[in-house]
Amino acid sequence: MFCNNQIFCILAGIFLVSMFYMAFVVDKNISKTLLPYLTQEQITMYNTIQEERKRNHMYGIIGGICISIGLIVFIKYIYIKPIKIHTMCFIITVSYITMYFYYNMASKSDLMIVHLDNKDARLQWQKNYKNIKYHYNISMLIGILFVLLTNNMICK
């Protein structure tokens, strides 16, 4: 799958491992750590912000799928007929990259920390934020290592 320097399959493998790691390994549940510090109004604000971020994430994925399918149709009729596995890798890679940029560039409401007036709540929010950021970077490294090891085993 990854032999012959198929960059889209390598990237797709990294992104998939990263997404699975973030979805199933990282505990993003803040109810135990942050919610005890929040007022009911702040909990409502947190839920609103969380829903907005989920929506931006999903719009990015859907947009990426549409863009990648459009590019595949364009490539198919203008250039060559792509191989099925490479097509899937292309869709995953373009969808992930589109989601990443859309999520980061889309307008968002204020970060939750702006609405926190309790020092302990701000410190806990910062701790949670750093934890998620750390795990996101670790997930990419694990994805890279997984793809490198898989690539070496398959291509030898």
Whether 124 is in a domain gets the answer yes
In a domain, 26, yes or no: no
C-alpha Rg value of the chain to the nearest Å: 19
- Is 69 a domain residue? yes
The reply to whether 2 falls in a domain is no
Residue 1 lies in a domain: no
Q: What is the pTM of this model?
A: 0.76
Domain membership of residue 149 (yes or no) is yes
Phi, psi of 81 (to 5 degrees): -85, 115
Split into its structural domains, the chain has a count of 1
Contacts of 37 (CB under 8 A, 6+ apart): 116, 118, 120, 121, 124
pLDDT score of 3: 57
86-133 pLDDT tens trace:
788 888 899 999 999 999 899 888 888 888 888 988 888 888 888 888
> For the chain, how are helix, strand and coil distributed in percent, rounded to 5?
80, 0, 20
123 phi/psi in degrees, rounded to 5: -65, -40
Residue corresponding to tokens 């701000």: 122
Instruction: Kindly report, residue by residue over 26-39, the tens digit of the pLDDT.
Output: 776 766 788 888 88
Domain ranges, residue 99: 7-20+31-155
